[in-house]
Structure 1
Amino acid sequence: MTNFVLVAGARLGAWAWDEVAAELRSAGHDVHPLTLSGLAEKQGVPAGQQTHVQDIVDEVEHLDLRDVVLVGHSYSGIPVGQAAERIGDRLRRVVFVDSNVPVDGESFLSGWPSEQVRKEIEENDGFWPRATAGYYADQGLTDEQTARIVAGSTPHPGATLTEPAVLAGDLGDLPATYIKCLLDGDEPMPAAAGLLKSERWELVEMDTGHWPMFSQPRELARVLRESAAGS
């Protein structure tokens, strides 16, 4: 039995994994969707990037989880990747779902045009504001799925996006799966592409958009199960 710890991307909470979690539990796994500090039901809790890393480490250690598959979507690949190296032999595999990966000394906003995001954070009291429905267009989502994401989203603590990652080792040494969602571009970001050269990393492609937990939850759950089984 595998322990899946599921962490959604920016603006989202544990609720985003409801359908995926149900699929994994029906297959006999333990599932622990996690809301990071400052988001969803944890709004108001101060958070920087290392707060989010510690959120994940604490979840694993306080529950004394073993045989852990850490799953990070989008932004959350940054704290999940850092947490993966900190939980040691509790880790079975780390899965990055169409996500950024941490690079020591660089932030989530490093390496791509981020002036607009930084401006939005500055103009919204240190938070990246919620997105409107148009932000989610052309990503394989139904109108109902898009409305659900918009309604459930909360402003995202800006410091978590601008503070640098802290890594002690080489992520390429960890067993990992990178899921690329093809409606969001054909190729992983350069940092992830470099790590995929490692023999311990595998690439899986999904023919859907950037939010597969909504657009293809059953298929995503299948990929997660197979990734865990192949560890």
Structure 2
Amino acid sequence: MRLLAPVLAFLALLSTAVQAADDRYTFVMVHGATAGGWEWKRTGEFLTADGHTVYRATLTGLGEREHLNSPEIDLETHIQDVVNLILFEDLHDVVLTGHSYGGMVVTGVMDRIPERLKHVVFLDAAVPEDGQSLWDLFGGQGMDPDRFKDGFMQVPWVEPGAKPPYSVKHSVKCFSQPVSYRNPAALALPVTYVAFVPADQSVEERAKKDRSWQNAQARGWTIRTFPGGHVAQQEDPRGVASLIADSVGDRNRR
């Protein structure tokens, strides 16, 4: 019995270590329009501190890749950015997250390489149907023509000489190009939709107006809410990091 006790203690410790390893995930995070991987830095740092592996994608022409910006960049370019990141880093069982416009991008990635994905989290993100563009999804709402010129969506809150990190102009083709979402393996992936709900808006009100929420619900995805504005990851990066990690266990309804 004296010899058995330390053996049992060792086995219990080993089991705990294996369980801890099983709870560590590989995250690939995709930002929204005009932003960059920088917008998810603090959230990524919290996930890394929790033992996870984090890749913060920056889409072509945005963030630190602003020097590649062009009106010829489209949604397909950005989908390929993330697909190549996953393939060239040889990532498997990826927890893929998309914020805002990033929902269009991760939808395309799901359709392209579902076998590399473990779970997908749409964070206050666009949830398009197969063959829809972002403009189609929102019916042109918020697409003020005065904000679009020379092939770009101009961002009025960026001032000349601003210090990085900052948002940049974004090619209009990213918003007008439709996305493919028809791969049966993609349709079967477990997905969580998270609505960032500000204090002055009720959850019920948001659910009635949010077409992405409605699409997610119709597909049987898990619906979660988080208190905060559209960039809640900057307001509460710790909370958003914990939410993302907790979402990995979510399963679709039949």
- With the shorter chain as reference, the TM-score category is 0.7 to 0.9
Runs (5+) with no aligned partner, structure 2: 1-23
Distance 1:212 1:62 in 2: 30
Q: Deviations over 1:9-43 (max 9, x none)?
A: 11100100110010000000000001001111212
Runs (5+) with no aligned partner, structure 1: 134-146
Distance 1:114 1:198 in 2: 24
Distance 2:109 2:54 in 1: 17
Q: 1:178 aligns with which of 162, 184, 193?
A: 193
Distance 2:90 2:102 in 1: 22
Report the CA distance shift for 1:85/1:206 in structure 2 as closer, same or farther (over 3 A). same
1:89 positional shift:
2.0
Corresponding residue for residue 226 of structure 1: 246
1:182 positional shift:
1.0
Corresponding residue for residue 103 of structure 1: 129
**3-state SS in 1 of match to 2:136:** coil
**1:32-71 pair list within 5 angstroms:** 32-43=55-66, 44-46=68-70, 47-71=73-97
Given that residues 172 and 195 in structure 1 are in contact (C-alpha distance below 8 angstroms), is that contact kept between their aligned partners in structure 2? Answer: no
Q: 1:207 aligns with which of 216, 227, 236?
A: 227
1:10 and 2:33 correspond: yes
Q: Deviations over 1:19-78 (max 9, x none)?
A: 001000000000000100111121224411111111111110000001101110001100
Q: How many residues align?
A: 215
More RCO (CA 8 Å, sep 6+): 1
Distance 2:156 2:222 in 1: 31
Corresponding residue for residue 115 of structure 2: 89
Distance 1:194 1:152 in 2: 31
Q: Deviations over 1:75-134 (max 9, x none)?
A: 1100111102322221011100001113222111114353763624542x111111429x
Distance 2:219 2:145 in 1: 36
Answer with 1 or 2: which has the greater Rg.
Answer: 2
Percent identity over the alignment is 30
Q: TM-score with structure 2 length normalisation?
A: 0.77
Q: TM-score with structure 1 length normalisation?
A: 0.84
